Amino acid sequence: MNAVILAGGQNKGSLYEATGVANKAMIKVADRPMSEYIVSALKRSEQVERVALIGPAGMDDVGADIVLPDKPTLLENVNQGLAAFPNDEYLLMVTADIPLLTPRAVDDFISRAQGMEADIVYPIASREECENRFPGQKRTCVRLKEGIFTGGNIMLLRSRFIRQQQVLIEQVYAMRKQPLKLAGMLGFSLVLRLCLGLVSLSEVERAAGRLIRGRAKAVITTFPEVAFDVDKPADLEAVRVEFFKHGGRVG
């Protein structure tokens, strides 16, 4: 399997104020940019063959096999990833702000996701696992019947499906900041029950599948590092502490 790292976009808010770095993927941890750790984890994975990185200028030396320029929209960058590996049935998409990612986490997710025969597979980690691994770090979570979970920052995509559903995917992505419209598409009854913790994971999968007109599945991962993204100065400090504890290397 080949992987695509999405390392574009602007660093904003308090994290930019704390670092002065315009792109999150270029923020340094132990004297190396975060994106370099993502590349390293993927390259050391037994399940990943080649790695493409999409980001701003100046990222040619982080170790990726292919480096492509950042485009204005997420969908354009996803399409660049698809074009980089045109014959692949599936691609692994990864964000560049999870520097604690490990090869074992990558291998575990891919091994389990490939057997699901879905169009999109997404990892979720339990809040308990996250708190045990990273005490004191706050993550956005959702309560399901099976427990309380947060989402990860890697995803397995069926290439053909993404090519065929371009318009729909763009519409759904645009609605991520319009919760009422998104709730209307999912069904207000489901959203209300979700808020009350009365929805099962299988119900969420079916609802997401209807939304994208495909098959969506979730992997409950025991590797919470896939969900530890650096969004705030406190996150960055916690990551630096982790690297310090492990002598500059994690995984």
* Residue 246: DSSP 8-state: T
> What pLDDT sits at residue 24?
92
Residue 191: pLDDT over 90: no
> What pLDDT sits at residue 246?
66
Q: Which CATH number is 2-245 given?
A: 3.90.550.10
CA separation for the pair 207, 153 (Å, rounded): 20
Residue 98: pLDDT over 80: yes
pLDDT digits (tens, 9 = 90+) for 117-173: 899 999 999 999 999 998 888 888 999 999 999 999 999 999 999 999 988 888 777
State in Å, rounded, how far the first CA of the chain is from the last one.
Answer: 20
Report CA dihedral (26, 32, 37, 38) to the nearest 10 degrees.
Answer: 10
Band of residue 91 on the pLDDT scale cut at 50, 70, 90: very high
CA separation for the pair 198, 25 (Å, rounded): 37
Global confidence as pTM: 0.91
Band of residue 225 on the pLDDT scale cut at 50, 70, 90: very high
3-class secondary structure, 142: strand
Average confidence (pLDDT) over 75-84: 93
pLDDT digits (tens, 9 = 90+) for 16-38: 999 999 999 999 998 899 999 99
Residue 179: pLDDT over 70: no
Q: How far is CA 189 from the centre of its chain?
A: 28
The angle, 0 to 180 degrees and rounded to 10, between the axes of the packed helices 179-186 and 188-195 is 110
CA atoms within a 13 Å half-sphere pointing along the CA-CB vector of 10: 6
Q: What are the sequence ranges of the domains in the chain? A: 2-245
DSSP H helical segments within the chain, as ranges? 13-19, 34-43, 74-84, 103-114, 127-133, 159-164, 166-174, 179-186, 188-195, 201-212, 233-245
> What pLDDT sits at residue 251?
60
Please list, in sequence order, all residues whose beta carbon lies within 8 angstroms of the beta carbon of residue 11, skipping any fewer than 6 positions away. 19, 21, 22, 23, 24, 27
Residue 60: pLDDT over 90: no
Question: CB burial class (10 A; 0-12, 13-18, 19+) of residue 120?
Answer: buried
* Assigned token pair, 151: 């989402």
